Amino acid sequence: MFLMANYKVSDRWLWLSFILSVVLLLASQWFAHQGSESVLRTLERGSFLRAGTHDLARLISAVKDAETGQRGFLLTHRASYLEPYYRGVKDLRLLMEGMRKDYASDPSLTAGLLKLEPVLQKKTAEMERSIVLAQTNDFAGAMALVESGEGKNLMDEIRAITDELLEAQMTRISATNSENARNVERSSFILIFSSMAAIAIATFAFGSAQIQNRRRRFLEMELRQSN
């Protein structure tokens, strides 16, 4: 009777160990999945922020191209210099339209674009006025407009706003990278710890089963010999 009671306790412990091992393994897989989801989300956010940084750099480049074409035309009176001007203005318009749509879900960048857009409009209007004056042979008026400093002041304001936006973007990218590193570290720790715990319990249960089996065989042999 005592022997049977021991067997029942042993069997229950083995089943409990098995169930606990399975639960730990499933839990580790679930935590690993959640960790992977967190890593993917932070990677996507980082990619989104880097795209915004790239577009801001392209935007300032388009303004510079347009200004270079404007200055070249005013200095040389050659129509060929208007090509980079028109191309820059076109790129600038397309970039602003695209960024308004692409980053509508980003309040920080959207606020910066709303601040930047009227300054860009003033800058393109200033460049266009000078070109129209030059095209009507009022080169003195065109150069007077350039020398007034209006265009330079607007360009300085554009640079200041874009630099502020770029700095904010880089800070957010750095924070996202740090968060991603923490997510990876936490997920790895949970996965390794849970897996090792499950393996330890399974190993202990297997060892206990082996010991119980040897005891059972030994006791059965003693019972047969005593009979």
Sequence-distant (≥ 6) Cβ neighbours of residue 169 within 8 angstroms:
49, 52, 53, 56, 109
Query: Distance (Å, rounded) from C-alpha 47 to C-alpha 44?
Result: 5
Residue 32 has pLDDT above 70, yes or no: no
pLDDT at 182: 75
Q: Where are the domains of the chain?
A: 2-226
Tokens 């050659």 belong to which residue?
Answer: 78
pLDDT at 152: 92
Residue 123 confidence class, pLDDT cut points 50, 70, 90? very high
pLDDT at 83: 93
